[in-house]
Each structure stands twice: as C-alpha cells, then as structure tokens.
Amino acid sequence: MTLKRWEPSGETHVPQAQIEYILGGVDHRRDAADAAGVAFERVDRVRVPKSWKHKTNYTGQYWAATTGRHVWFESLYERVALMQLDRDPFVAAISSQPMWIYWAGTARRHAPDFFVRFRDGSAAVIDVKPQARIKPKDVCAFDWTAVFCGERGWDYFVVRDISESEGRNLRFLSGYRYDRWRDQAAVEVLRAHAGESTRLSEWAGLLERVSPQPLGAVYSALWWRDLVFDSSRHLSLSTVAKAA
C-alpha cells in the first residue's frame, strides 16, 4: 500500500462546507473554517452502517499498537489499510469516520474513512476503496474532499492499491505487533547491522544469541520496520529484508 495524494481531475469549484462531528459524546456542527482547532484524531465515529442478513462486508474493531486504542473498520480492505497505518512510525493517532462534510447548496455529503495525526503535528484525511470499485460518483466525492482538505492544510489520500499478498502478509505480521514480541536487545543487534540485507532465516540465526524467541523477534522487527521488506510479495523464511 502506498499513500498517494488524490489530485482533483481538472479545475474543481467547490462550495463552502460545514462539518459535523462528535467529540466527548456531544454532536457538533459548524462551518469548516471554525473547526481549525478540533482534535479530529479524538472524535467518535459519525456513521454506523446498518446490518442485514447475508451482509458481505466485514466490520469490526482493530487494536492499534501505535495508539493503544481500538479503531473501527468497515471492511477487511480497510482493516489492512489500518494495519499499514499502524506500522507507520510517523503516525501518532487515528480516528475512524471522523466527520460528515456537507457542501452548501448541494445534497452532497461525505464521511471520510479515517483521520490521521502525524507526530510532527500535521494531519491527513484518508479514504479507502479498491481501484476497481471507484465509480464516477466516488471520483466527484474524492475531488471535493481533496479541495476541502487542501483548504484546511491537511493531506488527502485515497488508498486503492492493496494487493492480496500485502493483505495476507500484514494479517500474519499483525500478530507480532504486541509488546511481548518486542525485543529491545534484538532491535539493538539489527541497528548495529543497519543497511545490511539477508534472508529472514539468517536474521533469526543472528538473533539467537540475544533473544529467546528469535523468529518472533524477526517478525516483530518486520512489523515495526526495523527490518524492511517488500510487503507486496509472499513472505517466507527466504524473504530478503534490510536492517533499517
């Protein structure tokens, strides 16, 4: 998955907007220009989709190791996007369905999937939708949201390129995001080998002298990006990874 800024197609004239959000259990609605100081990374989700028999998409709560909080997701595709955000060392906080955006004089409204606050204080709004499922009406909503975010000084990304292999790899590695797998002695060894590349089996062999669970330490290092690998390719012990 790559965070790619959504660039509006052509010249886009967008009406003024209002924002609806829930903070501390209290519903707020105000002009977007008056919401500059709102901590959208702390808001409650504004939309709860209906459930019905034989519903095909899977919803749930993902526990983010970065923040120590649960983040709601609306599909397994969104869950993989959350995992990738959770691994990003620059991400400080994530909220789901953070706001409704209403554009004046139109019937159009949009609830983005995620709001992300980065460690440097900057922010981004993120929508998640597979490329094959993006329809013309989605393009219009994304174009208007990109302009809206630009006026707020936020980045706007649409995640649409998650491969099946990446999803499978991150689902496996997410089991190693917990503190019990984080081995600081192993991390120090990897840092001493910064820039070097070799197979995962050889990294595990190197960590045997400092870690009681060397393979688990390797998988934890992959999750936390102490070891860098191509997440779009099938993960195995022969996968080559580079010490960051």
pLDDT in tens, 3-42: 888 988 876 788 899 999 999 999 999 999 898 889 999 9
Query: What pLDDT does 58 receive?
Result: 79
Query: Distance (Å, rounded) from C-alpha 64 to C-alpha 206?
Result: 29
Query: What pLDDT does 138 receive?
Result: 94
Burial class of residue 173 in the structure, from the number of CB atoms within 10 Å of its CB (0-12 exposed, 13-18 middle, 19+ buried): buried
List the structure tokens of 148: 């809206």
Provide DSSP, 27-73: EEEEEGGG-TT--GGGPBPS------TT--S--EEEEETTTTEEEEE
Query: Distance (Å, rounded) from C-alpha 168 to C-alpha 222?
Result: 14
Task: Give me the residue spans of the domains in the chain.
Answer: 17-159, 164-243
Cβ neighbours for 149, distance < 8 A, ≥ 6 positions apart? 124, 125, 155, 156
CATH class name, domain 17-159: alpha beta
pLDDT in tens, 153-198: 999 999 998 999 999 999 999 999 999 999 999 999 999 999 999 9
pLDDT in tens, 108-127: 999 999 999 999 999 999 99
Give the pLDDT band of residue 55 (cuts 50, 70, 90): low
Residue 78 has pLDDT above 90, yes or no: yes
Cβ neighbours for 59, distance < 8 A, ≥ 6 positions apart? 49, 72, 73, 74, 75
Query: What pLDDT does 9 receive?
Result: 80
Tell me if residue 167 falls in helix, strand or coil.
helix
